[in-house]
Chain A
């Protein structure tokens, strides 16, 4: 068996000192070593986007990255979106617009949209559609996800 490496994952401002096999993905490390199970795994081969988290400032498919590559870089996950009891505008918008059904894809969409709206607050509707088309949802047919993200974008700009 491969030896383990000691790394520190900084998730939502908290350090997790863990020891993992070099082949352990960031997704597995976040979920299993750090117990942050809000990040989901839908395909483990980089297609569905359910595992999207923000590493540094970038939305990243955590199933395609090794945990060791994220050593020391600030990571944000769905658990860190709300400020205390105050939900992030995207979380509120997803509830207001019924942007989720089973909720399995939701953390991935929330983190993807958060990163993109922070980087590009004035993103056009069409570009936003392209961004959202990079994640899969099997329940909602996307209509309400798009509506929710647009509403949150408007609110975040205001």
Chain B
């Protein structure tokens, strides 16, 4: 459906207008959680031990320190999944008898200032009898491994299996089998603003307002009310400006529960600002996976059968609301990617260990499975002696709708076209010539491709398939035009950098004929916005955008009805544009603001045919769609140091209709930068005893402007019926595709040494170690 454009034919959709969010942010006038002052400050005391029994907690005299013993009646965090042999495990809000990872909250110190709270926290003595810890998922699976939760004696807490009936026969008839292990090390999403929470108690109503860095304000309210056993209406959750989230801020954290509990107990205001060390230790980790992958190819290099054993290290507890099934199960459902393999056999397990709990991070598993699958394609191309692009040409989905081996329906997309678009712009023959020349000079250049799908904008049916007790998906949008003609759109999504206030305003503006700057999008406040699921999973522009379109269309219909009354013309002859309702072909017109006044103050004129006021609600719950792209990286590897320089990064992308090209490109840039970090730099490291060795940004290394090359973007827009705005969502693709392209490029560069690097991140040390062992073997 195209947004009906009337009169001048100009639409707001499709234009790179400046963001409505920006004037406040560039002037330092944003409102972030840590900007709030409070009467009390909290410092959490965290376990220094990965596994152990708490013997005693020694509290300094006269200090206000809360421990599990104080929290009678507070329930643990215990998300539920009704499928996949899920074993529910409970995470106490404060560790009670045992600790299960370094950084787990054991006590909360309350004091009048941050410094004082820190001083007291230093003097809290936690005596823990250490037990043997297990941090590696494979070790946790071995017989005799320490048990993290008694409910799950083998440490497996979720297990999915899929096997198509034709798998064995198809595999048996394969021409070539390729098997290998792909490792993804543990990462932290690292939003630049770490977590923060502030609670304030209102003596008049007994209500508490929690302001916090969440991506899901409504669900945070529901979850905390459940855990504390308080009426949900007594809690208001505000997500003000949030300094990035990338998934890390969508799960419930015990810290916020305690802040709400404290505000009620103290009848006062309480604040906590997480420091970076806490965030790197306890702010959720991701992507710690090992995938054993086997591809069966026919004689023409067509992938006919795929099998995988996926082990996801999910840490010590299961995150709410997605549960820790989110990584292993998404990996299982989407591993075949954009390729036509119809025979599939997969076992995917979530394994608990004595490490920080896993939470979703931009792309959830897809960066890992794409890296694994794209390595498979390149290995197969090498085996068959064809170019990586050729094997992709032969295997990419090209008929729609396409039903995948795992039952997903792929709507209209452009997998092959984006590949060809990328190939055309990269000039592969010229690169190969340059590569050859460089090798002769002892310089190692490589090119890597990654073609992938990005499942986006999925509503409740997709979440229901996972058996989640809490099944998110839909969005509501309420649009009100006030008597002055200004518009407020209240949304349940909760953007934090995505520019949704601007893009939704563009969608709405086209429908009702006013400018985007006259539309204020309100979000992130449970008292103001309708219940919704927040911003994650590349969903907000598709789902909140669709709901905005529906609500705006209803408002438009109503405005036309009013105009028809006031202008005495048929609604079909009236256009809304430039703030006016105009009768086509005449000079009769009326400001929309005038109509708005009438809708409130002159309702008697409508003879009871039009309801008073101007508020409309739109709801949208789509099945989901797929964006797609081809990423290409050109790298140079210094074989002496193992350093990888990315010379060029090119993207051919299709995210359906682009509402604001500037914003869409920004999403892709940001995702790719994170993908480059994942591919080359970022790794959370634990010692064998479970100490975390990467707890500063000098050890855990997000890329800087030096590591991110110029990104060349090319666009294609395929419109599918799966999204009513035709926008497909673009939040995660950059992060999904980039690691694979970079790793494939490194492998291409190092092909003369006959080595393969199947691990992210490929740090200089790992590259050097691999090269060294290859050379030793040769010698």
Cα A82 to Cα B24 with chains together (Å): 12
Closest to A142 in B: B705
B254 part of interface (Cβ distance < 8 Å): no
Question: Across the interface, do A136 and B697 meet the contact criterion of CB distance under 8 Å?
Answer: yes
* With A103-B21, A140-B669 as contacts: A43 and B276 at CB distance below 8 Å: yes
A132 part of interface (Cβ distance < 8 Å): yes
Question: Across the interface, do A94 and B244 meet the contact criterion of CB distance under 8 Å?
Answer: no
Point out the residue from A98, A102, A129, A141 that lies within 8 Å of B241, measured CB to CB: A102
Question: Across the interface, do A141 and B708 meet the contact criterion of CB distance under 8 Å?
Answer: yes
Closest to A100 in B: B25
0 or 1 for each of A113-141: is its CB under 8 Å from B? (1 = yes): 00000000000000001101111111111
A137 neighbours in B (Cβ, 8 Å): 192
- Shortest A28–chain B CB gap in Å is 8
Question: Across the interface, do B706 and A48 meet the contact criterion of CB distance under 8 Å?
Answer: no
Question: Across the interface, do A100 and B22 meet the contact criterion of CB distance under 8 Å?
Answer: yes
Question: Across the interface, do B698 and A42 meet the contact criterion of CB distance under 8 Å?
Answer: no
Question: Across the interface, do B711 and A143 meet the contact criterion of CB distance under 8 Å?
Answer: yes
Question: Across the interface, do B711 and A95 meet the contact criterion of CB distance under 8 Å?
Answer: no
Closest to B673 in A: A141
Closest to B668 in A: A141
Cα A31 to Cα B324 with chains together (Å): 37
Point out the residue from A77, A106, A138, A143 that lies within 8 Å of B191, measured CB to CB: A138
Closest to A37 in B: B35
CB contacts under 8 Å to B, within A42-81, are 42-45, 47-48, 50, 77-79, 81
Question: Across the interface, do A141 and B670 meet the contact criterion of CB distance under 8 Å?
Answer: yes
- SS of A interface (majority): loop
- Shortest A16–chain B CB gap in Å is 15
The tally of residues in B whose CB lies under 8 Å from a CB in A reads 57
B483 part of interface (Cβ distance < 8 Å): no
Question: Across the interface, do A138 and B702 meet the contact criterion of CB distance under 8 Å?
Answer: yes
Question: Across the interface, do A102 and B669 meet the contact criterion of CB distance under 8 Å?
Answer: no
Cα A13 to Cα B665 with chains together (Å): 39
Closest to A130 in B: B706
Cα A101 to Cα B193 with chains together (Å): 12
B669 neighbours in A (Cβ, 8 Å): 140-144
Cα A157 to Cα B35 with chains together (Å): 35
B116 neighbours in A (Cβ, 8 Å): 1
0 or 1 for each of B491-508: is its CB under 8 Å from A? (1 = yes): 000001111000000000
* With A38-B27, A101-B244 as contacts: A132 and B697 at CB distance below 8 Å: no
Q: Output the residue of A44, A95, A101 with the most chain B CB within 10 A.
A: A101
B194 part of interface (Cβ distance < 8 Å): yes
B153 neighbours in A (Cβ, 8 Å): none
Question: Across the interface, do A81 and B27 meet the contact criterion of CB distance under 8 Å?
Answer: yes
A96 neighbours in B (Cβ, 8 Å): 18
Question: Across the interface, do B705 and A129 meet the contact criterion of CB distance under 8 Å?
Answer: yes
Q: Output the residue of A82, A106, A138 with the most chain B CB within 10 A.
A: A138
Question: Across the interface, do B243 and A102 meet the contact criterion of CB distance under 8 Å?
Answer: yes
Question: Across the interface, do A48 and B18 meet the contact criterion of CB distance under 8 Å?
Answer: no
- SS of B interface (majority): loop
A23 neighbours in B (Cβ, 8 Å): 115
* With A37-B28, A40-B193, A42-B194 as contacts: A138 and B662 at CB distance below 8 Å: no
Question: Across the interface, do A40 and B243 meet the contact criterion of CB distance under 8 Å?
Answer: yes
Question: Across the interface, do B192 and A102 meet the contact criterion of CB distance under 8 Å?
Answer: yes
* With A24-B115, A44-B275, A98-B663 as contacts: A138 and B190 at CB distance below 8 Å: yes
Question: Across the interface, do A104 and B192 meet the contact criterion of CB distance under 8 Å?
Answer: yes
Question: Across the interface, do B710 and A78 meet the contact criterion of CB distance under 8 Å?
Answer: no
0 or 1 for each of A1-39: is its CB under 8 Å from B? (1 = yes): 100000000000000000001011000100110001111
B463 part of interface (Cβ distance < 8 Å): no
Cα A28 to Cα B670 with chains together (Å): 29
Closest to B28 in A: A38
Cα A139 to Cα B275 with chains together (Å): 19
Cα A146 to Cα B191 with chains together (Å): 20
- Shortest B25–chain A CB gap in Å is 3
Point out the residue from A42, A94, A135, A140 that lies within 8 Å of B26, measured CB to CB: A94
Closest to A28 in B: B114
Point out the residue from A39, A87, A141 that lies within 8 Å of B27, measured CB to CB: A87
CB contacts under 8 Å to B, within A141-158, are 141-146
B443 part of interface (Cβ distance < 8 Å): no
Closest to B245 in A: A102
- Shortest A145–chain B CB gap in Å is 7
A50 neighbours in B (Cβ, 8 Å): 192
CB contacts under 8 Å to A, within B461-499, are 496-499
- Shortest A12–chain B CB gap in Å is 10
Q: Output the residue of B18, B114, B669, B671 with the most chain A CB within 10 A.
A: B669
B29 part of interface (Cβ distance < 8 Å): yes
* With A50-B192, A136-B192, A142-B705 as contacts: A101 and B698 at CB distance below 8 Å: no
Q: Which 9 A-B pairs have the closest CB atoms?
A: A38-B28, A104-B243, A103-B25, A102-B497, A141-B669, A141-B673, A78-B28, A101-B497, A37-B35
Sampled A-B contacts (7; CB under 8 Å):
A45-B276, A101-B666, A104-B191, A136-B192, A138-B192, A138-B670, A143-B710
| B interface residues, Cβ below 8 angstroms from A | 18-19, 21-23, 25-30, 32, 34-35, 37, 114-116, 119, 190-194, 241-244, 246, 273, 275-276, 496-499, 662-663, 665-666, 669-674, 696-698, 702, 704-706, 708, 710-711, 734
Instruction: Taking A48-B697, A138-B246 as given, write out 8 further A-B residue pairs in contact, using a Cβ cutoff of 8 Å, ordered by the A residue number.
Output: A23-B115, A39-B28, A50-B192, A79-B27, A100-B26, A102-B241, A138-B190, A143-B711
